[in-house]
Amino acid sequence: MRAVFPAVCYDLAKTLNCGQAFRWRPVRGGWEGVVEGRWVRLVQAGDTLEVEAVQPGEDWDWLRRYLQLEIDFPAIVATFPRDIPMQLAEQACRGLRLLRQDPWECLASFILSSTKQIVQIQQIVETLCARFGEAVPVPQDHALAYSFPTAERLAACREEDLRACKMGFRAPYLRETAGIVARGESDLAGIGRLPLEQAREELITLPGVGRKIADCVLLFAYGFPTAFPVDVWILKALRGLYFPRRRPTPKQMHEFVSSYFGPWSGYAQQYLFHFMRTARPGTPAGGATPSLMNGLTHGRNLH
């Protein structure tokens, strides 16, 4: 099945490769992945997305929702603070969207993310899917593709089976959380209907899930617009740009971002994150240099 969707101001490559999802690979000018058990190929052609899937029928709602094709994107960007760093981030990230992922896949993936580089998270997730996911229908002569393994399947694994996927000390976290979800002791679908703070508290009770990973899931899977993951990159950015020569506690930091970045602060967070990771010219994931940070901080009035 094929279809074409309008996608104005949509940068597919940035969206799929910015570290919010881990299963997309560039293939022959497009991107291939598996969304909720369905193999998909996406190609950006100007202001449209050409999509190809194997499943029969005309229903593309699952993909439209995943890609968030129907949101008013310019209206979101318009709510960002108009300071120098955010304007630079906007330029660098134009068209970067947030996806709406499956909660279990997102949760499990980010449990595997702690102190790992994005490339390595991709490798771990790929191995995990190949070993414990199920083969999904693919086009003729295409390489095999796998669904993301269910919580039930991962709960049934031995810890050493998971460690064999190179996830190291994260293996018991993933296994225990999978068990809790599989036994229905935590209701992932219900979490999406809670207010943000309650939803976060629920997630944080899970082994291997702290504030940062909870916020990733709240933002990338449940779509809470003000969930604001603070990782090492964002921490560096916020300290350098907004707290020069001060030492805010994590709590003060969260209070600042929730009041400063507006009703779509989660989006703003992803823009800062991607900007920081790609700011140095010449290196694909080089990161902002100290001199760049200095230029931004001492350049002009930020507020």
Partner DNA sequence: CCCCAGGTCAGAC
Partner DNA sequence: GTCTGACATGGG
C-alpha 217/C-alpha 129 separation (Å) is: 19
270 touching DNA, by CB under 7 A: yes
Our CB check for DNA shows the closer of 78 and 119 to be 119
Q: Which of residues 112-131 bind DNA (CB under 7 A)?
A: 113-121
C-alpha 123/C-alpha 113 separation (Å) is: 11
Number of Cβ within 10 Å of residue 112's Cβ equals: 24
Task: State the nearest-atom distance from the C-beta of 214 to DNA, in Å.
Answer: 6
137 touching DNA, by CB under 7 A: no
Of 240, 243, 270, 272, the residue nearest 255 (C-alpha):
243
Q: Which of residues 226-265 bind DNA (CB under 7 A)?
A: 229, 231-234, 249, 251
Looking at residue 43, what DSSP letter applies?
Answer: E
Burial of 251 from C-beta contacts in 10 A (0-12 / 13-18 / 19+): exposed
Residue choice 37, 81, 179, 207 for contact with DNA (CB under 7 A): 207
Task: State the nearest-atom distance from the C-beta of 227 to DNA, in Å.
Answer: 10
214 touching DNA, by CB under 7 A: yes
Q: What is the full DSSP assignment across 118-140?
A: HHHHHHHHHHHHHHHS-EE---T
Helices and strands, number each (H, E), in the chain? 16, 7
Q: Count residues binding DNA (CB under 7 A).
A: 40
209 touching DNA, by CB under 7 A: yes
Residue choice 17, 20, 44, 278 for contact with DNA (CB under 7 A): 20
Residue choice 163, 239, 254, 280 for contact with DNA (CB under 7 A): 163
Which CA distances in Å does 251 have to 17, 71, 198, 254?
Answer: 30, 31, 17, 5
Task: State the nearest-atom distance from the C-beta of 287 to DNA, in Å.
Answer: 8
Enumerate binding residues for DNA (CB under 7 A).
18-20, 113-121, 163, 166, 168-169, 173, 204, 206-214, 216, 229, 231-234, 249, 251, 269-270, 273, 277, 285
